[in-house]
Structures are given as structure tokens and as C-alpha cells.
Amino acid sequence: MQSKKGISPEFGPETINLFNKMMRMRKERGLDNNENFNKMMQELF
């Protein structure tokens, strides 16, 4: 079963909330350099 956004089923609401939180933090800090963000994502997933 796959959601519309292509998020695998094992990513539950908690993961999505965490992701949204990270996106908010990223905007607040103005992290336009994707390196830090990608590093964060790799650690998570």
C-alpha cells in the first residue's frame, strides 16, 4: 500500500510530523544549503 506522496507504509504519522517539524526548522533557520538538510535526512532514513 502506497500513499499519494510515495511515502512507504512504515513511515507513520510520527515520521511525517517529524519531517514537517524539520521543514519548519529549516525555513526558520534559512537553511538554503541542502547539504546540512540532506545529511539530516540520511541520518533519519
Along the chain (45 residues), what's the average pLDDT of each consecutive run of 10 residues? Answer: 56 81 76 68 71
Determine the pLDDT at residue 9. Answer: 62
Give the three-state DSSP class for 3: coil
Give the three-state DSSP class for 16: helix
Question: What pTM value is reported for the model?
Answer: 0.39
Determine the pLDDT at residue 42. Answer: 78
Determine the pLDDT at residue 33. Answer: 59
Determine the pLDDT at residue 1. Answer: 43
The number of angstroms, rounded, from the C-alpha of 21 to the middle of its chain's C-alpha atoms is: 8
* Residue 5, amino acid: K
What is the number of structural domains in the chain? 1
The range of the structural domain enclosing residue 28 comes to 13-44
Residue 37 lies in a domain: yes
Residue 2 lies in a domain: no
Tell which residue, 2, 3, 21, 4, has the closest CA to residue 44.
21
